[in-house]
Amino acid sequence: MVATTTVSQGVPVTQGSDVELLGVSKTRPKGAGRETGGLVLNHLNLRVEPGSFVSIVGPGGCGKTTLLRLLAGLEPPSAGHVHVGGQTVHGPSPRRGIIFQDANLFPWLSVLKNVTFGPLSVGVSLKDAEARATHWLTFLGLSKFLQRYPHELSGGMQQRVAIARAIVNEPDLLLADEPFGGLDWITREQVCDELLRLWHTTRKTFIYVTHALEEAVYISQRVIILSARPGTVAKVIEVNLPEQRWAATDLRFSPEYARLVEEVREIFAEQTALAHNSR
């Protein structure tokens, strides 16, 4: 499905595209250790609806990050096809944004210039790039920090800048690889809520990799559990919780949330045991 465009407070917002993986496998050359080579992903089939938010969890080494790299176009599949918005992914594109665990901001640029760097590099005018960057930084609560430098920000604020940098090019798909792994739990929950608000506002397609099972349930509409290596889809769990979860202060204490976390945990534990037994 081709992405559509709406307007949020004067700023164009391109909504998310569908994602489809058909028979995707990925093999790496054999190395000194088993974890560094061989079959990583095995005939993986997956469809993500446009504008949805899904989380991917699974045992260590099952191919979660490799899957994101295939979607980003950073490396090709060994077999099968990767489609975003009905188009085959052949390489990197500004239509697919990535949020990494480390913010990786340019230390010599201000917050505003860090975020305008992407639009300027693809030919957006300075005026429009600054308007976009200011909009998203304000949305993420950073309007007072536009002229600050990365070293003047907390870890959580740096990750908010990284989120703004990923969204400012108006991608159809946002990929996140353990983006909050280096944050303390209170800050992590706060930034999760910011990401949820961003998704709710923009309806981008989000694919989010995390090791935190509770976080996966809290932040997504579906949790995709990958099998032990070589990774394929072991189970997809629908998360039928209120969409505006940041406003439901008692959600993490609800019976339904606890039930979903336990369901994910049980399947995750099964796959982890299989991973250990295969070593």
Could you tell me if 37 and 77 lie in one domain?
A: yes
Looking at residue 93, its amino acid is: S
Domain count, the chain: 2
Of 155, 170, 185, the domain-final residue = 170
Query: 235 - beta bridge partners?
Result: 225
Over residues 185-214, the mean pLDDT reads 91
Selected residue with higher pLDDT from 94 and 173: 173
* pLDDT value, residue 100: 87
User: Which residue reads 């469809």 in tokens?
Assistant: 47
* pLDDT value, residue 247: 81
Could you tell me if 158 and 269 lie in one domain?
A: no
pLDDT in tens, 237-261: 999 998 888 887 788 899 999 999 9
Query: 84 - beta bridge partners?
Result: 19, 87
Could you tell me if 212 and 266 lie in one domain?
A: yes
Angle between helix 185-202 and 126-139 (nearest 10): 120
Angle between helix 126-139 and 155-167 (nearest 10): 130
pLDDT in tens, 58-96: 998 889 999 999 999 999 999 999 999 999 999 998 889
CATH number, domain with residue 243: 3.40.50.300
Confirm whether 100 is domain-assigned.
Answer: no
Looking at every residue in the chain, the average pLDDT score rounds to 89
Domain that holds residue 144: 105-170
pLDDT in tens, 106-154: 999 999 999 999 999 999 999 999 999 999 999 999 999 999 999 999 9
* pLDDT value, residue 13: 58
One DSSP character per residue, the chain reads: ----EEEETTEEEEPPPPEEEEEEEEEE---SSGGGSEEEEEEEEEEE-TT-EEEEE-STTSSHHHHHHHHHTSS--SEEEEEETTEE--S--TTEEEE-SS----TTS-HHHHHHHHHHHTT--HHHHHHHHHHHHHHTT-GGGTT--GGGS-HHHHHHHHHHHHHTT--SEEEEESTTTTS-HHHHHHHHHHHHHHHHHH--EEEEE-S-HHHHHHH-SEEEEEPSSSB-EEEEEE--S-S-GGG-TTGGGSHHHHHHHHHHHHHHHHHHHHHHHT-
Could you tell me if 204 and 247 lie in one domain?
A: yes
Of 135, 155, 170, the domain-final residue = 170
* pLDDT value, residue 2: 45
Confirm whether 191 is domain-assigned.
Answer: yes
One DSSP character per residue, 237-263 reads: EE--S-S-GGG-TTGGGSHHHHHHHHH
Maximal CA-CA distance, the chain:
57
Could you tell me if 155 and 206 lie in one domain?
A: no
Distance (Å, whole) CA 181 – CA 191 = 11
Confirm whether 217 is domain-assigned.
Answer: yes
* pLDDT value, residue 11: 53
Could you tell me if 46 and 139 lie in one domain?
A: no
User: Which residue reads 């010599």 in tokens?
Assistant: 108
Confirm whether 24 is domain-assigned.
Answer: yes
Torsion of CA 269, 59, 193, 247, to 10 degrees: -20
Global confidence as pTM: 0.89
**Chain center to CA of 111:** 21
Could you tell me if 61 and 184 lie in one domain?
A: yes
Could you tell me if 218 and 132 lie in one domain?
A: no
pLDDT value at 207 more than 50: yes
Could you tell me if 212 and 270 lie in one domain?
A: yes
* pLDDT value, residue 32: 45
Confirm whether 156 is domain-assigned.
Answer: yes
* pLDDT value, residue 160: 93
Could you tell me if 69 and 189 lie in one domain?
A: yes
Of 170, 186, 214, the domain-final residue = 170
pLDDT in tens, 144-170: 999 999 999 999 999 999 999 999 998
